[in-house]
Amino acid sequence: MPGPQDGIWLVIAFAVGAVVGSFLNVVIWRVPRGESVVSPGSHCPHCNRALVWWENIPLVSFLALRARCRTCRGKIRWRYFWVELATAVVFVVIIRRFGATADGIAYSLFAAALMAALFIDLEHYIIPDGVNTFALAVGIGRDIWGLAAGEPGHALVLGLPRSVVGAVVCAAVFIAIQAMGLALFRKDAMGDGDVKLARAIGAMLPLSLALVSFLFAVGVGAVVGGAVVLVRGMRERRSEAAHEQVEADDTLPAATPWSLFAVSAALYVTFGDLLVDAAARLKAGWAIAFNRWWNAQLPPEEDEEFVPAPTQVPFGPFMVVGAFMALFLGQAAMDWYLAWAGFGAAL
């Protein structure tokens, strides 16, 4: 199997990463809007003209067109370029570390899902179930492959695949945070998308690294999120709209009822939500009835478009950054700390 030092595989990783990043741009734009990622084909978001093949070359086409549509001259977001470049670089780093191996491929697929989650959550304050489910499937699938092949690091824990145990533990950690938020502040301290993302991270990374990734996420979130809140607050104070926004903040969406919280917690730690979703797609009567009951329990939705308060910052992007930090730096950091503390190497 080619090793991580083989330059040709790094070139291939960059090219594949750029292509995957181009597809992720489609996912990032269309999935939150409920649109298909397959049809229609790539088109200008301003004039809806279908793009020809040479306008779809990752990285190159964006620069050649100078971030504008060739026909209507509408501006193209720089996000498209940065997603393609970031995905390409991440793929190179992963293949450089793990080589063109099963781990390299699995971590690349997982990283692609993380990139989609990051940019969607930044803009829409949601992490689509499809993205989280894909990441979870990659983690469990890679672990089962390792178990079947007898690879080191892939073993049963309490009679279950390591990935399943990790997913359950990490989901439980975030569910506990949700419970504390409901009990202490009577509001949702963590979205369900974050719980599902934590579950996926726990399935993909060894449990110790997954937990470390959450510590990294909290640290980065405290610094970056605090800075964002500070800057937003300064801008709000400078505008006449600040008073209106503060008044709007008093009418934030109602917290999730405890009955729904208990049901969702049970579903997430047993993967029951995936069963319900699959059954609903197959038009199973019980799943349709369950979803009707679920929607009836939810607080009424606001008719107005969601506008985040100055103090609202999505946590998903920090979880993604924390996962990447744990993947590339976490084990070394854990080994150093445990050695310094006298506990030896990390488990």
Question: How far is the C-alpha of 121 from the C-alpha of 256, rounded, in Å?
Answer: 20
Q: Does residue 278 lie in a domain region? A: yes
Q: Are 168 and 210 in contact (CB under 8 A)?
A: no
Q: Specify the amino acid at residue 316.
A: G
Q: Round the average pLDDT of the chain to a whole number and report it.
A: 86
Q: Are 119 and 28 in contact (CB under 8 A)?
A: yes
3-state secondary structure of 56: coil
Q: Does residue 283 lie in a domain region? A: yes
148 Cβ neighbours under 8 A, 6+ residues apart: none
Question: How far is the C-alpha of 283 from the C-alpha of 61, rounded, in Å?
Answer: 42
Q: Does residue 171 lie in a domain region? A: no
pLDDT band at 161 (very low <50, low <70, confident <90, very high): very high
**What is the average per-residue pLDDT within 188-192?**
83
pLDDT band at 248 (very low <50, low <70, confident <90, very high): very low
pLDDT band at 327 (very low <50, low <70, confident <90, very high): very high
Q: Does residue 49 lie in a domain region? A: no
What per-residue confidence (pLDDT) applies to 83? 96
pLDDT 10s digits, 36-51: 888 888 887 778 777 8
Question: How far is the C-alpha of 344 from the C-alpha of 333, rounded, in Å?
Answer: 13
Which of the 8 DSSP states describes residue 329?
I
Q: Does residue 286 lie in a domain region? A: yes
Q: Does residue 182 lie in a domain region? A: no
Helix (H) / strand (E) element for 160: namely strand 160-161
pLDDT band at 304 (very low <50, low <70, confident <90, very high): low
Q: Does residue 14 lie in a domain region? A: no
Model confidence at 3: pLDDT above 70: no
Question: How far is the C-alpha of 288 from the C-alpha of 175, rounded, in Å?
Answer: 25
Range of the domain at 283: 257-298
Q: How many domains does the chain have?
A: 1
Question: How far is the C-alpha of 77 from the C-alpha of 67, rounded, in Å?
Answer: 7
Model confidence at 244: pLDDT above 60: no
Helix, strand and coil content of the chain, in percent to the nearest 5, comes to: 70, 0, 30
117 Cβ neighbours under 8 A, 6+ residues apart: 127, 131, 132, 135, 197, 316, 319, 320
What per-residue confidence (pLDDT) applies to 246? 45
Q: Does residue 277 lie in a domain region? A: yes
Which of the 8 DSSP states describes residue 157?
E
pLDDT 10s digits, 209-238: 999 999 999 989 999 988 888 887 777 776
Q: Are 135 and 114 in contact (CB under 8 A)?
A: yes
pLDDT 10s digits, 109-137: 999 999 999 999 999 999 999 999 999 99
**What is the average per-residue pLDDT within 249-267?**
78
pLDDT 10s digits, 10-26: 999 999 999 999 999 99
308: alpha, beta or left, given left = phi > 0 and alpha = psi -120 to 50? Answer: beta
Question: How far is the C-alpha of 146 from the C-alpha of 154, rounded, in Å?
Answer: 6
Supply φ then ψ for residue 161, to 5 degrees: -60, 145
Q: Are 180 and 189 in contact (CB under 8 A)?
A: yes
**What is the average per-residue pLDDT within 52-60?**
84
3-state secondary structure of 244: helix
